[in-house]
Chains A and B, each alone.
Chain A
């Protein structure tokens, strides 16, 4: 039997960077094949060429043994290639059925389409009411829409891009069941992920890319997570070093009955949130995306106007009514989840991006004028201390890869030595090497006496990093407890348990 998909010598050149350098590997029918690599290793570019979004500059794609050219995604779907993207393309105000109908190449009467959707859902246990509005669905449920959409076309190869980054452990298990069933029916799966233990649990083969080149194709079950990570980043991996016997000091950040207003139609506010973080402590806040994390971060950073002075205090000083700039002066720094356009301005140089949040704490402004020398010096220090791969302080933020930009942003805040640091998704989409560096920097900051809040959907991250943990669900925060008191199952239930329909 010929290989389902075979790539030989695929090469893609972008201005200034060779994204794929003679990459060759094959996917057999019914095989679950992992594509591993750091950010910027060329995984996305490679699958975009398979799915017809981009064209290779060189090399050959063979489909069931035949050489093919895939001019566009429509042609890819016609061949039998389906793809589920990391970022969903769904209209929140429309129903599941309407969203699927919009994405179909051929016009199918809606009743017939609904019957086919129900059939696919039945076969794979992807339960979902086709008439529900997308806005009311959890991220896991939204992903199911994308999977159903892909499965309606009876794909012979399904590409999944970072599918589990937003799911609860229970949802991950459900997804794996579906993928295994698909594979047993002969559908090949190309699975892109950073999560090595998932790849070990799910995949038959793993292809590892580094810097656009293929490093190895191996059997993940025969490897350890560590050995694969080291192949991915090319060097030995560092463990987080947490000093033994750390003790927590005075309460630094006290949140008491924090409530926000609903700002948009599909926005989840937080209600009556209370917690305390002490000097030296890292508090993890777990939760599935869209449960009020954004509102919580904005309310803490000051982007969302506060209404009660006493709701937030730092070092005993009530700051609930202060704006972002004043809060920073009082020692509260925050890093939102979205890097581009929120935590950093893509079109600005790194130096100018340092002015964005560090101008007051580090005296970069004198009489209304910006001291660009000071901004440049500070940016240089961030780049050096956090090993940011950038051409220098004058490089634009947009020219950095996701992981490097995140290292820069975290460095920019951490080197300001904030009393309290609140970060959301500090290692979202960041490769293992950069993630380890960021984690270590957070631990070091806490060891030096700051209080840290880490909001994340990545349980592995929270378990490695946090001293105490709380779970956010539908805008409410559970009581915080030492991390050792939780089992994964319990966290998972707290994260997803309130969604009644989730269990169906």
Chain B
């Protein structure tokens, strides 16, 4: 029998570290084409529609921007938390709470708003997301409860909260019984950047957020603290960085950014709070963060790649009748190949020399 063993490389190659995400995307396209061909679809067509049409069809570019913006903002927050080994899996819940907090500001100021409405909604959105992220932080630092579980479970609680709010207290009185809030007043809606498109102010905000985060992570003591706590917690303590403080910071920042994304979505594409507000951006952003190498600049590109699969998935639905779940399959494959590639960057696969019976 042939045996293999993983042997740690002395120093992973820098080039491979950045080549892996590209290779993961390429492998996803190849294997995806094979799989969908085998199960009876036009595999090559599927890959073309999902990965290439959104890029070649300039009509789709605005969709890309709108889809990528929340993914980038949430992904940037998660990449900061994950650097510190704080596993916030509940960005979806923090995104929802940010959206709800912003909705509250929009509804409360309806008819009395002004230039300050959007900034107030932004602050409320970040505060809402951060506050929701604070719960796992509190449980982790006080009672050592695993933040993966708490942040994930809180997501489901936040979904129920939307259902409750849009069915009772916040229901649009003129909405003919639909479970949704009224459309926000114009002061509470994001302006369009390019007239005639759907590109809203959230798109440039996403880029700015990523650039600021990159600068902070690479240059500031805050970024250093996140990196050192994640890389070597013991050394961090020796260097004078408190682990609990880091957990708080990581949860508040990643929660706050997810909340900001929630605000931008509800004040942008949705224009009101609806039960369909949770769109899994918070979960997809986990893949974005890893695909972007937990680097805010990488997250911009990763966000765009994921947006391509979303937009392309919709295209493929109409053009070749591919189910919407196919998008999920492609996204999952990408994460799988990325993680597998990461192992091979850090370790080499070594064939174990066949057992020669040592002549005893």
Contacts and interface: CB of A to CB of B under 8 A. Distances in A.
A372 interface: yes
Contacts of A63: 358-359
A225 interface: no
B89 to A, nearest CB: 24
B317 to A, nearest CB: 43
Contact of B221 (A15, A79, A324, A365): A365
Contact of A71 (B10, B220, B228, B353): B353
Contacts of B353: 55, 69, 71
A153 to B, nearest CB: 12
A41 B78 CA distance: 43
A55 B356 CA distance: 13
B11 A341 contact: no
B240 A344 contact: no
Contacts of A15: 9-11
B235 A368 contact: no
> Which 5 A-B pairs have CB atoms at the shortest separation, nearest pair first?
A325-B240, A324-B240, A356-B239, A345-B232, A341-B232
Given A303-B238, A338-B234, A399-B11, A356 B360 contact: no
Interface string B14-50: 0000000000000000000000000000000000000
Contacts of B358: 63, 68-71, 75-76, 78-79
A63 B359 CA distance: 9
A323 interface: yes
B238 A369 contact: no
Interface of A: 14-16, 55, 63, 66, 68-72, 75-76, 78-80, 301-303, 323-325, 328, 334, 336, 338, 341-348, 352, 355-357, 359, 365, 368-370, 372, 396, 398-399
Given A15-B10, A78-B358, 17 more contacts: A15-B11, A69-B356, A78-B360, A302-B240, A303-B237, A323-B242, A324-B240, A334-B238, A343-B235, A345-B232, A347-B232, A356-B238, A359-B221, A368-B221, A368-B222, A369-B220, A398-B11
B176 interface: no
A404 to B, nearest CB: 15
Contacts of B356: 69, 71
Most-contacted residue by chain A among B240, B354, B355 (CB, 10 A): B240
A14 B353 CA distance: 17
A355 B238 CA distance: 12
Interface in B202-249: 219-222, 224, 227-228, 231-232, 234-235, 237-240, 242
A348 B230 CA distance: 11
Contacts of A325: 240
A468 B354 CA distance: 58
A365 B227 CA distance: 16
A342 B238 contact: yes
Contacts of A368: 220-222
Contacts of A336: 238
A314 B231 CA distance: 32
A352 B11 contact: no
Given A68-B358, A324-B238, A16 B10 contact: yes
B109 to A, nearest CB: 34
Nearest to B13: A15
Contacts of A372: 219
B143 interface: no
Nearest to A342: B234
Contacts of A344: 235
Interface residues of B, number: 27
Contacts of A328: 240
Interface of B is mostly: loop
A66 B224 CA distance: 56
Nearest to B215: A369
6 contacts: A71-B353, A71-B356, A324-B239, A345-B231, A345-B232, A356-B235
Contacts of B239: 324, 356-357
B222 A345 contact: no
B51 to A, nearest CB: 33
Contacts, number: 92
A348 B11 CA distance: 12
A352 B237 contact: no
B352 interface: yes
Contacts of B221: 359, 365, 368-370
A326 to B, nearest CB: 8
B355 A75 contact: yes
Contact of B238 (A80, A301, A359, A399): A301
B235 A347 contact: no
Contacts of B9: 15
Contact of A343 (B222, B228, B238, B242): B238
B220 A370 contact: yes
Contacts of B240: 302, 323-325, 328, 357
Contacts of A302: 240
A7 to B, nearest CB: 15
A323 B242 CA distance: 10
B242 to A, nearest CB: 8
Nearest to A335: B238
Given A303-B237, A396-B11, A345 B228 contact: yes
B10 A14 contact: yes
A334 B240 CA distance: 12
Given A324-B238, A396-B11, A79 B232 contact: no
B358 to A, nearest CB: 5
A278 to B, nearest CB: 26
A202 to B, nearest CB: 28
Nearest to A347: B231
A396 B13 CA distance: 13
Contact of A355 (B11, B224, B242, B355): B224
A348 B236 CA distance: 12
B13 to A, nearest CB: 9
B237 A71 contact: no
Contacts of A324: 237-240
Contacts of B355: 71, 75
Contacts of A369: 219-221
A474 B231 CA distance: 33
B234 A348 contact: no
Interface string B326-360: 00000000000000000000000000111110111
B177 to A, nearest CB: 53
A295 to B, nearest CB: 14
A346 B232 contact: yes
A356 B228 contact: yes
A370 B9 CA distance: 30
Contacts of B11: 15, 396, 398-399
A63 B357 CA distance: 13
Contacts of B219: 369-370, 372
